[in-house]
Amino acid sequence: MIYSLNGKLIHTEPGFFVVECAGVGYKCLATMNTLRSLPRVGETAMVFTHMLVREDAVELVGFASTAEMNCFRLLTSISGVGAKVAIAILSVLTPEQVALAVSFGDSKALTKAAGVGNKLAQRIILELKDKIKKLGIASEPSETAAPQTAAAVTGGNVSQALGALAVLGYNADEVLPFMKEIDTSQPVEAIIAQTLKAIGKQS
């Protein structure tokens, strides 16, 4: 499994990019959000990858962040959601927006992606919520959480952010330490994005 690539970006076009590492060019399928975040051609790019293995091909999908990679993996674990649909969703929505859409049951947000109708959008929401329950991922802090940390979960924005982060596979006890340095008066999406960024720095 190729987890990441760090090399010179030698080509980009809608749908994919190519990174050269040790003389080998790796073609990576990509979302529009990742393509927009890449450096200029000729500069060094560091991306995370997921390998797709099919009967007729082996392909890489490249991501600008671990949050997008993890969200892609969650989406493709759902019946009826292949790599093409997951890339389409993450081309119009960030991982934070996907998490919020699932958390609030907003199927209309998911239908903005090409190939995602209302029935599929509702299935994505139902199955991701079901996965949270099966994994035992909580959106509220446990009783063992530090009192001063647990006390931070009093604002509506923080509670909503915790619920959305649970969609991405994080429980409250995992993310609360990263939230201590974040201004929780910000919009929910900003809290989620900054929390994921902080988590990414530790990984």
Q: Tell me which of 48, 63, 78 is where a domain ends.
A: 63
* Secondary structure class of 77 (helix, strand, coil): coil
CA–CA separation, 3 and 154 (whole Å): 37
Residue ranges of the alpha helices (H) in 53-116? Answer: 66-76, 83-92, 95-103, 107-110
Q: Which residue positions in the chain have pLDDT lower than 70?
A: 132-155, 203
Nearest to 19 by CA among 28, 29, 9: 9
Q: What DSSP element (H or E) covers 26?
A: strand 24-30
pLDDT of amino acid 149: 42
pLDDT of amino acid 125: 92
Domain containing 171 equals: 147-202
pLDDT of amino acid 135: 47
CB proximity list for 41: less than 8 A, separation 6 or greater: 9, 10, 11, 12
User: Per the domain annotation, does 155 fall within a domain?
Assistant: yes
User: Per the domain annotation, does 90 fall within a domain?
Assistant: no
User: Per the domain annotation, does 53 fall within a domain?
Assistant: yes
Q: Looking at the 3D structure of the chain, how many domains does it have?
A: 2
pLDDT of amino acid 121: 96
